[in-house]
């Protein structure tokens, strides 16, 4: 399974980014190979709909789980339609959130927000 986590930098030691759609990077961690790659978020600087575009980009990467602090409702709909699990991040590094998932310490993200509509 591939896990995605919004990251402040392209490193496992990076802080987990509090923004989903505007995160500079996403860590893609493969639980089968225990390897990670980092994907630049091309939607981060878009005028609007960054979360929706970022969600679609992650769906295209065939992720199975997203770990994030928060998520807009439209991005959540994209991920839910692809049957991607959405878990609440802890205030830890990317690597420590991966470990927390593997230890069963992450809960489902219960709330989504209306989204931040930039440029309207």
Name the CATH architecture for the domain at 2-102: 2-Layer Sandwich (3.30)
Question: Worst-scoring range by mean pLDDT, 25-29, 80-84, 93-97, 114-118?
Answer: 114-118
Strand 25-30: give its sheet, edge to edge. Answer: 35-40, 25-30, 2-7, 65-68, 85-88
User: How far is Cα of residue 75 from the mean position of the Cα atoms in its chain?
Assistant: 10
What's the DSSP call for residue 17?
A: P
Q: What is the pLDDT of residues 57-95, one digit of tens each?
A: 999 999 999 999 999 999 999 999 999 999 999 999 999
Residue 55 has pLDDT above 50, yes or no: yes
- What are the boundaries of each domain within the chain? 2-102
Calpha distance 5→76 (Å, rounded): 14
Q: Look at residue 42 and tell me whether its pLDDT is greater than 80.
A: yes
CA dihedral 99, 110, 77, 79 (to 10 degrees): 10
Query: Residue 94: in which H helix or E strand, if any?
Result: helix 94-102
């Amino acid at each position: 399974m591939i896990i995605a986590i919004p990251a402040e930098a392209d490193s496992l030691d990076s802080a987990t980014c509090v923004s989903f759609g505007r995160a500079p990077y996403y860590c893609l961690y493969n639980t089968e190979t225990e390897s990670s790659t980092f994907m630049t978020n091309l939607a981060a600087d878009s005028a609007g709909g960054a979360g929706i575009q970022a969600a679609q980009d992650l769906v295209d990467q065939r992720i199975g789980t997203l770990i994030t602090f928060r998520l807009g409702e439209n991005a959540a709909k994209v991920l839910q339609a692809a049957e991607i699990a959405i878990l609440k991040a802890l205030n830890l590094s990317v690597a420590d959130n991966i470990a927390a998932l593997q230890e069963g310490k992450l809960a489902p993200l219960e709330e989504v927000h209306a989204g931040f509509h930039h440029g309207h």
